[in-house]
Structure 1
């Protein structure tokens, strides 16, 4: 039996990881540290018996120190972060506070408990980061590898780049056992409806516009969130201390292609599932019309990176990672999850 501290475990990727770890490691105890900001929800991990939620801030070094000592924790899986690029453009301070100062606070506590007390126990600090730290690719550039130069272009990606550097420094300076994974765009259940896929699903159901930045041809690598959780598991179990691994979904698509697939899947669902038209009467599909009529072009985001792509060769060869879900399967499952879990997302819309 092991005890894990999962920061941000009531959020999207962290919450999915809690569900995944509880299912695949039923004897482990999971302590979730989350301050329950707008994107953190108790309901995301409700019913996971192994998970104990501690409401608190990762910047509270004393609290983290206490949890590590009292719960005999030897593994930290660090998800907690401000992550919405648009919010970072308008209000960057919160991103520095959480992503940089918060990560440093966790590292200080981990060093104090795992190294400075002289126990010499095995431990692991795993840091979840993003492909956005690498900047933007041209149409024909090779995909991001772990050796790619950091070139963050938004306050969000700059704050994540800083946190990556701190994790690396704590390993090389103090000997802390760390690993980092840089992931591509996640999607799946429990995704807060400010990001593209859940936002467009819920807007389609409500008959609201589907706002498309610029020409809609910005390219992203799409990763089903459960595959990401499997990649983190592989890094925890087989990753080498001090190393970084890129975790991708192998599905490089322009935003417009993603939006068109969302529209197609919503239209299909209204044909295949009885009662949807009664539940969502404002959806064009409820009246036999195409969801695509909701597409609306808007002014492009400032500093909008053109293309991200992940080279996951190192993760495949060194830790045995490979995604299991293709985009069509993952998107269809994601839509079905939102249709079946209105009690989870409806209160978020009401905010």
Structure 2
């Protein structure tokens, strides 16, 4: 049995990872979360109190981190500012959390010789042309295009430097777009689902040709646990489930799953600098660590996700009005 410090554990993919770990292993978890608007304490409700401890705090607080590190065997860093639109409106929180917060974590982990795993994104690689036969690999050069992706790229480089310069026992994973339970309604898939639940219409950026490589949050969680258990220190692993879909197809599938006409959506102004296509080659993770995704059927995973939002309105309802008000200010 190990004890993990999971930062950002009240957020979307962090809370899914905690649930996965507590349900599939005997490990313990200490959760550290600042509880910004994207963190939701209720995402951790119902989990065993004897195996999970919650602490509200900032990952940039070195004093707090130095108190926590001796209590854990590994750190899993999910804490991040991660919404592209928000980074275009106000980049500063992204620098504070993604750069300065990561620095504090790896510096404390180095001092206490704690195993460290850093969660990152495929957006650090920039984008691909729609007809490009290639996919991102661990050796693809970084080419971020937004304040969000550039600060995540910077945090990755900090981790790599601490591995090489100070011997930090760290790994990195870059994952494609996640979907599933407990995702904030400002994000693409839950926004469309909850719009339809409310009797409204989904909103599609531009023509909806932008392609994302979708992965269910449970598959992301199982991959991260595989890296913690079997990954080689100093290595980067790309996590993907071969789930490429363009945004138009995703909205049309959501509408069909929810019993609505496939064309019942509205086009809105496109996001500035909107990346065209992300695509992950996860061969290294699959061949070296033996990992495989369980949600290989995107439509089936989407059906489960739609049902979760239908069944958990008390969880997402308090977020909805504020999220839509922010989008209305930008005509989206």
Partner in structure 2 of residue 137 of structure 1: 128
SS in 2 for 1:65: helix
The equivalent of 1:187 in structure 2 is: 179
Does the aligned pair in 1 maintain the 2:214–2:245 contact within 8 Å? yes
Note the alpha carbon deviations across 1:231-279, whole angstroms, 9 max, x for none.
Answer: 1011111110000000002111111000000000111xxxxxxxxxxxx
TM-score by length of structure 1 reads: 0.89
Contact 2:252 2:262 in 1 (8 A): no
* Contact in 2 for aligned 1:266/1:291 (Cα 8 Å): no
- Structure-2 residue corresponding to 1:42: 41
Deviation per CA, 1:282-328, whole angstroms, max 9, x where unpaired?
A: xxx5xxxx3742x1111111010000000111111111121111201
Structure 2 CA distance, aligned partners of 1:195 and 1:322?
26
1:250–1:323 contact (8 Å) kept in structure 2:
no
Distance 1:11 1:134, change over 3 A: same
TM-score, L = length of structure 2: 0.94
What is the Cα deviation at residue 170 of structure 1?
0.6
Runs of 4+ in 1 over 4 A off after TM superposition: none
RMSD of aligned residue pairs (Cα, Å): 1.1
Q: Which runs of 5+ in 1 are unaligned?
A: 115-122, 268-284
Q: What's the offset of the Cα at 1:24?
A: 1.1
Aligned pairs, number: 318
CA contact (8 A) 1:133 1:161 kept: yes
1:208 CA displacement: 2.5
Secondary structure (helix, strand or coil) at the match of 1:140 reads coil
Structure 2: gaps spanning 5 or more residues: 323-332
* 1:315 matched residue in structure 2: 285
| Deviations, residues 176-224 of structure 1 (Å, cap 9, x unaligned) | 1100110000000000001111000000111223221111010010000
| Matching of residues 220-259 of structure 1 within 5 Å | 220-259=212-251
Q: Could you tell me which residue of structure 1 aligns to residue 328 of structure 2?
A: none
Contact 1:84 1:156 (8 Å CA) reproduced: yes
State the distance in 1 between where 2:159 and 2:143 align. 18
C-alpha distance in structure 2 between counterparts of 1:140 and 1:92, whole Å: 31
Equivalent residues of 1:143, 1:310 under 8 A apart? yes
Q: Which has the larger radius of gyration?
A: 1
C-alpha distance after superposition, 1:329-351 (max 9, x if no partner): 11000011111111211122255
Partner of 1:16: 16
Q: Which residue of 2 aligns with 1:91?
A: 90
Separation of aligned partners in 2, 1:291 and 1:266: 10
| Contact 2:128 2:276 survives alignment (8 Å) | yes
- The aligned residue for residue 52 of structure 2 is 51
